[in-house]
Amino acid sequence: MQPNSKNSQWLGSQADIPEDWPAGTVYLRAPYYSKKLAEDAFKTLVFPKSDLPSSERALTTRPPYSNIKISKILSPNHPANGQHGLFARLHLPPDSFIISYLGYVHDQNDIDETSDYDLSLDRDFGIGVDASRIGNEARFINDYRSVVTSPNAEFRDIFVDIGDGKIEKRMGVFVLSAGKSGKRAKGIPKGCEIVVSYGKGFWTERLKMDR
C-alpha cells in the first residue's frame, strides 16, 4: 500500500498497534483515501477549519485508545463465537465519544461488494469506509442481534481537527444517550461488549449472498 497525495499519517507506528490485532490487516491511525476518489468528493471530507459550521465541534482523537479493548469471543452462545469483538476497558458514559471508524475511503466505482466492514460515510457522494483489509479497533464492533436485547452504541458524523488548519469528516462511534426515561443512564459498564445496529439491510444483503 502506497501513500498518495490525499493521505498523511495513515500508518500507525508499531507502538500503537493494539493487542490481538490480526496479522495481515493494516493498522491505521488516520483514514486511507483511495486515489480514485474524485477531488470534489475529497474536498467535502477534508476542508479548512474556517469552513466548519459554528454548530459543530471539532474533536481530536488518536491511538492508543485506553477506553477500549479488542477481545476474542469465547462464548458458544455468542453468534460471533471464535471471532473478535470490541469491549469497554473502563466505564463509558452515555453520549460519550468512543473511537472513529477508520478504513479505506472509497466511492461507488471502487467498492468491494463482498466486504462485511463497509460503512457509509457520505450518502450524497456515495462514499464508504471499508475496514476489511485496513482499519482500526472500530472494525471489531459487532451487531447487537442475538448478543443482547438492544445496541449500546451508534455511529454519528464527527469532525476531527487533523492539524495544519484542517478538519476531516469521519464516522464516529458514540455511546447511546441516556434516553428520555433514563433507561440507558448507566452507559456502557467496564468489561461490556460495545454493540451497534448494522441495520436490517446488512443482514438482508448477507442472506442474499449466502444463497
Ligand X SMILES: C[S@@+](CC[C@H](N)C(=O)[O-])C[C@H]1O[C@@H](n2cnc3c(N)ncnc32)[C@H](O)[C@@H]1O
Chain residues that interact with ligand X, rule: CB under 6 A: 79-80, 83-85, 116-117, 139-140, 142-143, 145-147
- What minimum distance in Å lies between the beta carbon of 116 and ligand X? 3
Q: Residue 10 or 140: which CB sits closer to ligand X?
A: 140
Instruction: With residue 205 as reference, give the H or E element that holds it.
Output: helix 200-210
Phi, psi of 199 (to 5 degrees): 90, 150
- What minimum distance in Å lies between the beta carbon of 50 and ligand X? 35
- What minimum distance in Å lies between the beta carbon of 69 and ligand X? 13
**Burial class of residue 100, CB neighbours in 10 A (0-12, 13-18, 19+):** buried
- What minimum distance in Å lies between the beta carbon of 198 and ligand X? 7
User: Could you give the CA distance from residue 181 to residue 87 in angstroms, rounded to a whole number?
Assistant: 25
User: Could you give the CA distance from residue 145 to residue 162 in angstroms, rounded to a whole number?
Assistant: 35
Q: Residue 31 or 167: which CB sits closer to ligand X?
A: 31
Q: Residue 42 or 174: which CB sits closer to ligand X?
A: 174
Q: Which residues contact 57 (CB under 8 A, 6 or more apart)?
A: 159
Q: Residue 45 or 131: which CB sits closer to ligand X?
A: 131
